[in-house]
C-alpha cells in the first residue's frame, strides 16, 4: 500500500517523500489509519520497524487539522537517547508544518526546558523523571493533552517507571487518544494497557521475540581471559564499517573501550555515567562516521538509530533474552542486513540457552581461523534437557541405574 492511501495530510506526505520513504512499513500501514480515526492503539513492534513515524505522523496530522493552543501531545520514552531520536523523527516528519517538539529529559539544565514549556510547545517528548520534576514545580500543565504515547513501554516497566507514569496519567484528561508501543506484550504490559487504553486497536507486527530477517547471528565460544584478543581479531577480520559492542557493566565498557583505543580503533563510549553532553556528541560522531565503533551498555544504547550499523557484538551476553533482541535490532534497521556476533565464555552458556529458547533458534558456533586459542572452544551446543532429566536430575537417575545393576 502506498503512503498516499493512508489518509495523510499533503504536508506530511511531502515530508515522507523527502525522507526517501517509498512505502509504509507494516506497523505504519496498520497503525496510521486507526490513529487518524482517533482510536487508541496497542502496538507490538520491534525496534527498527518504523514505529516512531507510525505515531508521529498521526500526532502531526491532528495538530494540523484541528487548531488549538498550548501543549497538545505528549510522548513518554524510557531514555534520553530515545527522546532525542523521537524528536528527530518529529522534526523530519513535521518539516513542512509549523509544529515542533520540545525535549524534556534529565541530565541537562532546567532553564531551556522551562522556556519551551512556557511557550507551550505543541509536542513534548519526555522521560518520566524530569517530566514529573517540572509538573511538581508547576512549570507544566498537562490538562490540554489530547494525544499521549507511551513508547517502549516494556522497557519503562523494566526500569521501574510505572509509578511515575501513573502519577503523570493522573494529571491528564480522560478525553485523550493514547498509543502504547512495546517490543513485547507480556501480562504486565497488558495490565498497563488496561488502565491506559480504551478499546484499543491491537497491532502485532511480529512475534515479540523475533529478530529481524537479514541479520546473521553467530556465537564464538571462548575462554573469558581471551575475550579482548578474540574481539580485536574479529574486528580486524570483519572490516567493520560501524559497529556497536555491548558490555554488561559501565566499568566493563570503559575498560574495553580503553583497550580497543590502544589497539588503534576509533571508539566512542555510551553508558549512564557519561554526561548528556558527552552522550550527544558521541552519538553525533558515530552518526557522521567520525567514530567507527560504539562501546555501550544496554540502557544507553536504547534508541540508537543509525542506518548504517553493520555489526552488533555482544561482548557480554545479556542476562535478559529481550535485551538480546533489542541489541541486535540496532543492526539491519528498516529491514537491511547486518551481523550479530556474540562472544560466549563457558559460564555464559545458560544465558545463551535462554536467548536461543526465546528467539526459537540455535545459533551456529564458530571458531576464528588463525586465532591462538589457549583453551579449545566448545563448538557443539549442549543438548536440550529432556523431560526425564528435569524430573529426576542426573544424580538420581544414575543412582537408580546403579541399584538396578547391583
Ligand atoms: P523506528 O522503528 O521508528 O526506530 O525506525 C527505524 C528506522 O526506519 C529509522 O531510521 C526510520 O527513519 C526508518 N523508517 C521509518 N519508516 C520508514 C519507511 N516507511 N521506509 C523506510 N524507512 C523507514
pLDDT tens string 245-293: 999 999 999 999 999 999 999 999 988 788 878 888 898 898 888 999 9
Same domain, 149 and 282: no
Looking up residue 282, the CATH number of its domain turns out to be: 3.40.50.300
Bridge partner list, 147: 73, 177
**Domain match, 188 and 222 both:** no
User: Looking at the predicted structure, is the pLDDT value of residue 404 above 60?
Assistant: no
Do 200 and 220 fall within a single domain? no
Collapsed DSSP state (helix, strand, coil) of residue 144: coil
User: Of 159, 152, 183, which Cα lies nearest the Cα of 75?
Assistant: 152
Residue 238: pLDDT band (50, 70, 90) is confident
**Together in a domain, 14 and 93:** yes
Classify residue 371: in a domain, yes or no. no
Contact between 38 and 111 (Cβ < 8 Å): no
Atom 1 of ligand 1, residue of closest alpha carbon: 50
Q: Is residue 396 part of a domain?
A: no
By residue range, what is the domain housing residue 324? 215-359
What pLDDT is stored for residue 320 in this prediction?
82
Confidence at residue 314, expressed as pLDDT on a 0 to 100 scale:
96
Beta-carbon contacts of 168 under 8 Å, excluding residues fewer than 6 positions away, are 76, 128, 131, 132, 135, 142
How many domains are contained in the chain? 2
Residue from 53, 89, 203 whose mutation best tests the ligand 1 pocket (most atoms within 8 A of CB): 53
Cα–Cα distance, 206 to 360 (Å, whole number): 13
> For the chain, what's the residue count?
406
Please give the mean pLDDT across all residues of the chain: 87
55 and 168 inside one domain: yes
Answer yes or no: is pLDDT of 351 > 80.
yes
The reply to whether 398 falls in a domain is no
Q: Classify residue 272 as left (phi > 0), alpha (psi -120 to 50) or beta.
A: alpha
Cβ–Cβ < 8 Å for 53, 93: yes
pLDDT per position as a tens digit, 114-133: 998 998 899 999 999 999 99
| pLDDT value of residue 305 | 65
Closest CA to 207 of 321, 346, 308, 78: 321
Residues 294 and 163 in one domain: no
Region 227-256: what's the mean pLDDT?
A: 92
Helix (H) or strand (E) holding 165, with range, is: helix 162-169
pLDDT at 210: 64
- Look at 391 and 148; give whichever has higher pLDDT: 148
Average the pLDDT over 158-172 and give the result. Answer: 92
Helix (H, G, I), strand (E, B) or coil at 343: strand
Between 109 and 299, where is the model more confident? 109
Give the pLDDT of residue 288: 86
Q: Cα-flanking dihedrals φ and ψ of residue 277, to 5°?
A: -60, -45
How far, in Å, is the centroid of ligand 1 from the Cα of 52?
A: 8
Tell whether the model's pLDDT for residue 218 goes beyond 70. yes
| Residue 219 forms part of a structural domain | yes
Of 20-24, 28-32, 153-157, minimum mean pLDDT range: 20-24
Q: What is the pLDDT of residue 310?
A: 84
Residue 104 shares a structural domain with residue 37:
yes
Q: Pick from 5, 27, 51, 52 the residue to mutate for probing ligand 1's pocket: most ligand atoms within 8 Å of its CB.
A: 52
Q: What is the pLDDT of residue 399?
A: 39
For residue 281, the CA-to-ligand 1 centroid distance in Å is: 22
Q: 188 and 88 in one domain?
A: yes
Give the DSSP H/E element, type plus range, for residue 181: strand 177-182
pLDDT of the residue at 244: 93
Are 262 and 178 contained in the same domain? Answer: no
- How many angstroms separate the alpha carbon of residue 23 from the centre of ligand 1? 11
Confidence of residue 398 (pLDDT cuts 50, 70, 90): very low
Q: Per-residue pLDDT tens for 62-88?
A: 999 998 989 999 999 999 989 999 999
Q: At which of 336, 359, 382 does a domain end?
A: 359
Tell me the CA–centroid distance for residue 32 and ligand 1, in Å.
Answer: 14
Query: Could you identify the atom of ligand 1 that is nearest to the CA of residue 89?
Result: 12
Q: What is the rounded CA–CA span in Å between residue 266 and residue 27?
A: 36
Residue 76: φ, ψ to 5°: -105, 130
Contacts of residue 33, defined as CB under 8 A and 6 or more positions apart, other chains included, come to 6, 7
Q: Is 26 exposed, middle or buried (0-12, 13-18, 19+ CB in 10 A)?
A: middle
Best residue among 95, 181, 212, 334 to mutate for probing ligand 1's pocket (most ligand atoms within 8 Å of CB) is: 334
My answer on whether 152 and 238 are in the same domain is no
Nearest residue CA, atom 5 of ligand 1?
50
| pLDDT tens per residue across span 284-331 | 898 888 999 999 987 666 656 666 688 899 999 998 887 888 888 777
Q: Would 322 be classed as within a structural domain?
A: yes
Which of 204, 237, 260 lies at the terminal end of a domain, its last residue? 204
Residue 223 pLDDT exceeds 50: yes
Indicate which residue's Cα is closest to atom 14 of ligand 1.
50
Question: Are the C-beta atoms of 83 and 126 separated by less than 8 Å?
Answer: yes
Distance 386 CA to ligand 1 centre (A): 42
Cα(285)–Cα(126) distance, rounded to whole angstroms? 24
Q: Which atom of ligand 1 is nearest to the CA of 25?
A: 19
Measure the CA angle with vertex 82, ends 77 and 88; round to 5°.
115
What is the band of 90 on the pLDDT scale with cuts at 50, 70, 90? very high
User: Do residues 181 and 148 make contact, with C-beta atoms less than 8 angstroms apart?
Assistant: no
Nearest-angstrom CA–CA distance, 4 and 11: 12
Q: Which residues line ligand 1 (CB under 6 A)?
A: 21, 24-25, 28, 47-53, 305, 307, 333-334
Q: Rounded to an integer, what distance in angstroms lies between the CA atom of residue 245 and that of residue 259?
A: 13
Q: Is the pLDDT of residue 371 over 80?
A: yes
Say what the pLDDT of residue 337 is: 67
Q: If DSSP codes are grouped into helix, strand and coil, which group holds residue 404?
A: helix
Tell me what percent of the residues of the chain surpass a pLDDT of 90.
59
Output the pLDDT for position 322: 79
Query: Residues 214, 335: contact at Cβ < 8 Å?
Result: yes
SS (H, E, C) 189-257: HHHHHHHHCCCCEEEECCCCCCCCCCEEEEEEECCHHHHHHHHHHHHHHHCCCCEEEECCCHHHHHHHH
| pTM of the full structure | 0.64
The residues, ordered by sequence, that sit 6+ positions from 116 with a Cβ below 8 Å of its Cβ are: 102, 104
- CA nearest ligand 1 atom 15, residue: 50
Amino acid at each position: 500500500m502506498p503512503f498516499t492511501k493512508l489518509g495523510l495530510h499533503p504536508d506530511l506526505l511531502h515530508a515522507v517523500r523527502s525522507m526517501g520513504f517509498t512505502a509504509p512499513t507494516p506497523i505504519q500501514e496498520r497503525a496510521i489509519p486507526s490513529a487518524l480515526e482517533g482510536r487508541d492503539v496497542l502496538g507490538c513492534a520491534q525496534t527498527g520497524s518504523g514505529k516512531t513515524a507510525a505515531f508521529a505522523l498521526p500526532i502531526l496530522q491532528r495538530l494540523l487539522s484541528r487548531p488549538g493552543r498550548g501543549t497538545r501531545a505528549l510522548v513518554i520514552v524510557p531514555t534520553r537517547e530515545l527522546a532525542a531520536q523521537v524528536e528527530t523523527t518529529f522534526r523530519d516528519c513535521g518539516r513542512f508544518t509549523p509544529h515542533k517538539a520540545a525535549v524534556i529529559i534529565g541530565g541537562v539544565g532546567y532553564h531551556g526546558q522551562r522556556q519551551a514549556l512556557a511557550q507551550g510547545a505543541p509536542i513534548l517528548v519526555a522521560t518520566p523523571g524530569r517530566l514529573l520534576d517540572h509538573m511538581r514545580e508547576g512549570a507544566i500543565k498537562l490538562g490540554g493533552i489530547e494525544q499521549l504515547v507511551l513508547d517502549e513501554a516494556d522497557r519503562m516497566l523494566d526500569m521501574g517507571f510505572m509509578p511515575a507514569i501513573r502519577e503523570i496519567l493522573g494529571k491528564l484528561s480522560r478525553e485523550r487518544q493514547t498509543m502504547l508501543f512495546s517490543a513485547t506484550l507480556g501480562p504486565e504490559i497488558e495490565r498497563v494497557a488496561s488502565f491506559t487504553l480504551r478499546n484499543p486497536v491491537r497491532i502485532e507486527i511480529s512475534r515479540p521475540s523475533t529478530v529481524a530477517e537479514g541479520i546473521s547471528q553467530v556465537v564464538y565460544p571462548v575462554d573469558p581471559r581471551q575475550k579482548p584478543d578474540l574481539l580485536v581479531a574479529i574486528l580486524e577480520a570483519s572490516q567493520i564499517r560501524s559497529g556497536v559492542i555491548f558490555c554488561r557493566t559501565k566499568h566493563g565498557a570503559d575498560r574495553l573501550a580503553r583497550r580497543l583505543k590502544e589497539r588503534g580503533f576509533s571508539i566512542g563510549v555510551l553508558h549512564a555515567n557519561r554526561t548528556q553532553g558527552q552522550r550527544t556528541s558521541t552519538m553525533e560522531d558515530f552518526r557522521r562516521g567520525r567514530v567507527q565503533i560504539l562501546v555501550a551498555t544496554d540502557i544507553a544504547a536504547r534508541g540508537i538509530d543509525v542506518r548504517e550499523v553493520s555489526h552488533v557484538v555482544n561482548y557480554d551476553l545479556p542476562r535478559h533474552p529481550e535485551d538480546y533482541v533489542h541489541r541486535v535490532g540496532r543492526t539491519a534497521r528498516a529491514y537491511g542486513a547486518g551481523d550479530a556476533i556474540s562472544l560466549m565464555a563457558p559460564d555464559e552458556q545458560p544465558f545463551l540457552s535462554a536467548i536461543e529458547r526465546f528467539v526459537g533458534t540455535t545459533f551456529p558456533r564458530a571458531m576464528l581461523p588463525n586465532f591462538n586459542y589457549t583453551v579449545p572452544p566448545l563448538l557443539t551446543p549442549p543438548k536440550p534437557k529432556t523431560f526425564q532429566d528435569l524430573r529426576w536430575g542426573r544424580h538420581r537417575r544414575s543412582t537408580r541405574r546403579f541399584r538396578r545393576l547391583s
